[in-house]
Amino acid sequence: MEAQPIRILLVDDDASFLNSLEALLIGQPGLEVVGKAASGAEALAAATRAEPDVAVIDVLMPVMSGIECAHLLQERYPKVRVILISGSIFEDRRPHPDERGTDAYIEKSEVPERLHATILALAAETTAAPPGRTNA
């Protein structure tokens, strides 16, 4: 029996970066992009429909921040693993580890090298019980 693919929800208000994320992951063995969203509200609605295993969420989004979106997503869907990403070059705009409360954090400049491996690592850690959250 073949293993089920890791279901991924991508969330970023920058349409070109969102499409780049999708292009990076499409065709990767064992991964399936099941939804894309341009806002926190869209992400929560998409999660209801798509039932992702992993959500990749931009930190800096208008209306609902990525951190707020991540917390609501984890509250509603405890088994979803969350990777926050940020392209901010300003230290004061990056989330402090204590406020992230998510499974992983990656700078946007590191996404091409680290995202695939981070998704696989988080999926490998997933068990039937809700995962413990880390500030990795």
What are the pLDDT digits (tens) for 59-90? 888 889 888 999 999 999 999 999 999 886 54
Give the domains, in start order, of the chain with CATH numbers: 6-125 (3.40.50.2300)
Global pTM value: 0.84
Report d(CA 47, CA 66) in Å as an integer: 14
Band the pLDDT of 43: cuts 50, 70, 90: very high
- Does the pLDDT value for residue 128 go beyond 50? no
Say how far apart CA 59 and CA 12 lie, in whole Å.
Answer: 8
Task: Please report the pLDDT score of residue 104 as a whole number.
Answer: 86
pLDDT class of 92 with cuts at 50, 70, 90: low
pLDDT average, residue stretch 40-60: 94
Nearest C-alpha neighbor of 135 from the set 106, 97, 95, 108: 97
Helix (H) or strand (E) holding 114: helix 111-125
In the predicted structure, residue 102 carries a pLDDT above the cut 80: no
